[in-house]
């Protein structure tokens, strides 16, 4: 049976409670905004298939609870993630300050070369801004990741954020794939048929590539 997609990427949304993770995800997956979601407890997920350079990419995105005591549960999902969106709320200094802690969590629990991206959400509320764009950029540079300000409410930069992250993961994956196969498509059929599928719950903390099985 032909697969409906070429790649499957697992993404993860983390950040303090109330920064808008669920709204961002809902906006991306369903293109809707609802100011009144119920709080996420434990873990939740959404799926959307996108197209990049002619490749179908299925994104499986995990949404997490922000409260500290759920961390033991949510960190179990870091390991399988190929991309992580770190979300803060530009109207909350505290949520920005927590980003360092979240990064520490990533360093502890996620694959070493997981793609990360910093998201400053609620940028529609400029009048209540507490974290300047520059500070977000500075932090992102410090940790070598991209950053973006988004608004789930006004649908600003949401698509852009997920697409950028997916593109980076795709580039990384393809690069690894080529590296791993010197002489490229000589042995294993045609290169264009090569597909990656991350293995469920498997994989290792240390290697990005181990998370993918080559079909």
Question: Which residues of this protein are in contact with ligand GDP, per CB under 6 A?
Answer: 17-23, 35, 37, 40, 66, 121-122, 124-125, 151-153
Handedness of CA 184, 185, 191, 197 (dihedral sign): negative
Find which of ligand GDP, other proteins, Mg ion, none residue 45 binds, CB within 5 to 8 Å per kind.
other proteins
Q: Which two tokens stand for residue 12?
A: 């993860």
- Other C-beta atoms closer than 10 Å to the C-beta of 112 total 11
**Least Å from the CB of residue 122 to ligand GDP:** 4
Nearest distance from residue 17's CB to Mg ion, in Å? 7
Is 49 among the residues that bind other proteins (CB under 8 A)? Answer: no
By rule CB under 8 A, what string of x and - marks binding of each residue 98-117 to other proteins?
--xx--x-------------
Nearest distance from C-beta of residue 29 to ligand GDP, angstroms: 13
203: left (phi over 0), alpha (psi -120 to 50) or beta: left
Q: For residues 197 and 212, is the Cβ–Cβ distance under 8 A?
A: yes
Q: Which is nearer to ligand GDP, 40 or 173 (CB)?
A: 40
Cβ distance to ligand GDP smaller for residue 47 or 154: 154
Cα–Cα distance measured from residue 55 to residue 36, given in angstroms and rounded to the nearest whole number: 35
Under rule CB under 8 A, residue 33 binds other proteins: no
- Residue 131, token pair as written in the block: 């974290």
CB of residue 40 vs ligand GDP: minimum separation in angstroms?
5
Distance CA 74, CA 204 (A): 17
Query: Does 126 contact other proteins by CB under 8 A?
Result: no
Task: By CB under 8 A, tell whether 60 contacts other proteins.
Answer: yes
**What distance, in Å, lies between the first and last C-alpha atoms of the chain?**
13
Q: Which residue lies nearest ligand GDP, judged by its C-beta?
A: 20
| Contact (Cβ atoms closer than 8 angstroms) between residue 63 and residue 29 | no
């Amino acid at each position: 049976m032909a697969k409906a997609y070429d790649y499957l990427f697992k993404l993860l949304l983390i950040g303090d409670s109330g920064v808008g993770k669920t709204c961002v995800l809902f906006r991306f997956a369903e293109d809707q905004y609802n100011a009144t979601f119920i709080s996420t407890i434990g873990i939740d997920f959404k799926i959307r298939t996108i197209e990049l350079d002619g490749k179908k990419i299925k994104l499986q995105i995990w949404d997490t609870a922000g409260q500290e005591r759920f961390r033991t549960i949510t960190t179990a999902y870091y390991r399988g993630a190929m991309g992580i969106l770190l979300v803060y709320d530009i109207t909350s200094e505290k949520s920005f300050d927590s980003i360092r802690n979240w990064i520490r969590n990533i360093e502890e629990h996620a694959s070493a070369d997981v793609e990360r991206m910093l998201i400053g959400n609620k940028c529609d509320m400029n009048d209540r801004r507490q974290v300047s764009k520059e500070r977000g950029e500075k932090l992102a540079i410090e940790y070598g990741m991209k950053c973006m300000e988004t608004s789930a409410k006004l649908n600003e930069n949401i698509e852009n954020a997920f697409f950028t992250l997916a593109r980076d993961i795709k580039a990384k994956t393809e690069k690894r794939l080529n590296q791993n196969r010197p002489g490229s498509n000589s042995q294993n059929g045609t290169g264009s048929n090569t597909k990656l599928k991350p293995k469920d719950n498997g994989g290792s903390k240390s290697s990005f590539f181990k998370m993918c099985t080559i079909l």
